[in-house]
Each structure stands twice: as C-alpha cells, then as structure tokens.
Amino acid sequence: MHTKISSTLFLLLAFLPGLAPAHDVDITGVARIFIDEQAPGSYSLSVVDQQVPPLFNIERILPERCEGLSPGNYSYRFQCSPALNINDSLEIPWSLQGLVAVARWADGTDVSGYFPAEGAGISIPMSDLKAGAGSLTSLASRYFVLGAEHILFGIDHLLFVLGLLLLLQGFWKLLKTITAFTIAHSITLAFAVLGIFPVPNAPIEVLIALSIVMLAREVIMSQRGELTLVHEKPWIVAFVFGLFHGFGFAGALGELGLSDADIPLALLFFNLGVEGGQVLFIMGMIAVNTVFTKLFASNTASAHRGLAYGLGGIACFWFLERLPALVLIN
C-alpha cells in the first residue's frame, strides 16, 4: 500500500510547509467574555482578552429592551426588563474566528459555550447559555466542529498520521496502529483537560515534532530493508507518541476557559470531532491516491524516499523552532 500512496503524499507534502502547526490555529482569533447576573435583570459583561476592540456602545449588542448603565472599555453593566431569556441574543461586532462566553447566573449555575463567527460579527444566543434550554445539541455541534478543525488544520498531527500511512502495509496493521494512536491521545486529552495530569505546552510541542522526525527515520530505514520494532509493531510506537499528541489536542480545548459543568460534554464531542477529522483525512488520502496512482504509476520508490526526507526535514525545522521555548519555562 505504501508504495502506491507515496506519489500522492509527495504532492500533498509540497503544500504543508506554508501551513501553521496545529496549535497555532484553533485559539488564534478567539476571545473570551464573562456574563455575570448579579440579580434577575441586572448584569455585567467582562472581556478577558484585551486585544479585541472595546465595546464603546454596549447597547448596540443588547436586545432592544436592555439598557447600558455605565460606559467602559472592557467591563460593562447593563439591565434588562424583563430579564434575558432563551429568545435573546448578544451581537458582538468583532472580526474574530470566534469567542467563548461564560455565563454565571444568579441561581449559581455556570454555563459556557464556543460561538464561531457568522459574517461580520458573532452572535451569542441565550438559549445556548441558559442551563436546560436545549444547549446540548448546540454544544455538541460546536465542539465537534472545533475538534475536526483542530486536526484537519493541525499539520503536525496530520504529518504523523501521514508517516504511519507511508510505513504500514496491510489494512489490519493500519487499523490497529491508528486505533492505538486514537486511544492514546484520547487518554491524555481527557487527563489534561480535566486537570488530572496537566503538562506545559512547550515540551509537548517539542516532543510532537520529535515524534515525526523519528517516524520519518523509520520510514527511511524501512525503505532500505532495515526492519525495526516500529515497523514490526507500529501500534506500540503509535500509542506512545499518541500520548504526546493528546496533550497537544488539549491545548486547544483547555485554553477556552470552559465552565466545570460543560467540560465533560465538550471533551467528548471535541474528541469525537478529532476522530472524525482523522478518519476523513485518511479516507481522503486513500481516495486521492486511487486517482493519482493511475497517473503516476512509475518512480514510486523515489517519490516515497523524497517524501520521507521531506517529512523529516519539516519536522526537524519545527523541532528546532520550538526548542527555545523550553528555556522560558519557569
């Protein structure tokens, strides 16, 4: 399988160096706000990330029956009569990828949600922030999409999966290896997000790059006929390195500042989104390969070799680029 797929992957790799690694994609352009209900109908809105423009006219984002009480740059007070309900929404005029809103209601419940951009702004429906107001479906769809985007735009994760495709022969060996990778990163994703085993991001980024370097080396050794443990039992290595990749996935979810009540479901659907994106990538590569192997049936060995060196070269660059960040860890 790997000799056939190499021509396709070689072409794909040509586009990868210009793309950002996974963990520079999802959080970039995402702001956080807190909506606090001091009493029914009385609220404050705080903006955590001050790189976004201030809301000079708070009433522009509120329902018509609401009134701003005091001007501010990043903290605002307003009141609504009657109080906010599930039919209301806040319209934030920011040109961002999205934002996370955390609502802390007067009855003691905390609800959070991720809201992607829609056109020129971001709409925050109160139905998604009111506990028990049908927010499960919205939460599921948003975090599933966020997880899928994270891996589909996460070039370092895709390069690792791509390396496995190059190394493996046979459907069952591929299935076992991808399953081991999936189980491993699901474990550490859960541990990191739930705070059971938090790990600083910088060493994880370095280890992820190193995992791709080592996998590329194994591919090259396999081409030379030097069979190693990785080639014979790739699911073991996929599981070990999958643990590192899981901590990388956790960075996207953990930085969103979710409320404790939303973490379990957000974690579940984010992880399902990651797996869905991973399956989509693999199926897409196989489908594209079917077409390209008919066009580029010759010279697959040289294309395979060039791809392996390119894979390792990009990963080496990322490794050296991320290494200085370790010095900044306190």
Quick one: 181 and 301 in the same domain? yes
Residue 137 has pLDDT above 80, yes or no: no
172 and 272 assigned to the same domain: yes
CB atoms within 10 A of CB 142: 21
Q: What is the pLDDT of residue 198?
A: 78
One domain for residues 210 and 283: yes
CA distance 107 to 64: 24
* Average confidence (pLDDT) over 115-144: 75
**Are residues 109 and 159 both part of a single domain?**
no
Percent of the chain at pLDDT exceeding 70:
79
Q: Is residue 141 part of a domain?
A: no
pLDDT of residue 24: 36
Verify that 212 and 229 share a domain, yes or no: yes
Whether a cis peptide bond, with omega within 30° of 0, leads into 116 is no
What is the model's pTM? 0.65
pLDDT bracket for residue 43 (50, 70, 90): very high
Q: Are residues 100 and 195 in the same domain?
A: no
d(CA 235, CA 156): 19
pLDDT of res. 259: 60
For the chain, how many structural domains are there in total?
Answer: 2
Residue 143 falls within a domain, yes or no?
no
Whether 215 and 130 share a structural domain: no
104 in a domain, yes or no? Answer: yes
C-alpha dist (Å) from residue 126 to 31, 200, 273, 288, 290: 18, 34, 24, 43, 47
Range with the poorest average pLDDT among 188-197, 251-260, 312-321: 251-260
Distance CA 161, CA 158 (A): 5
pLDDT grade for 14, boundaries at 50, 70 and 90: very low
For residues 204 and 244, the answer to whether their CB atoms sit within 8 Å is yes
Q: What is the pLDDT of residue 4?
A: 41
200, 249: one domain: yes
Q: What CA–CA distances, in Å, run from 199 to 6, 173, 203, 205, 247?
A: 35, 31, 8, 11, 7
More confident residue, 172 or 15: 172
Range of the domain at 78: 30-134
Tokens of 163: 């390396």
Of 305, 321, 304, 327, nearest to 210 by C-alpha is 321
The verdict on 57 and 201 lying in the same domain is no
Helices H / strands E in the chain, number of each: 9, 8
| pLDDT score, position 42 | 92
The C-alpha atoms of residue 45 and residue 55 are separated, in whole angstroms, by 10
Mean pLDDT of the chain: 78
Same domain for 315 and 274:
yes
Q: Residue 239: pLDDT band by 50, 70, 90 thresholds?
A: very high
Of 134, 164, 181, the position where a domain reaches its end is 134
Has residue 139 been placed in a domain?
no
Same domain, 281 and 316: yes
Give the span between the Cα atoms of 152 and 279, in whole angstroms: 10
Asked whether residue 20 falls in the same domain as residue 167, the answer is yes
Where among 99, 134, 169 does a domain terminate?
A: 134
Please report the pLDDT score of residue 12 as a whole number. Answer: 45
Looking at residue 316, what is its pLDDT? 93
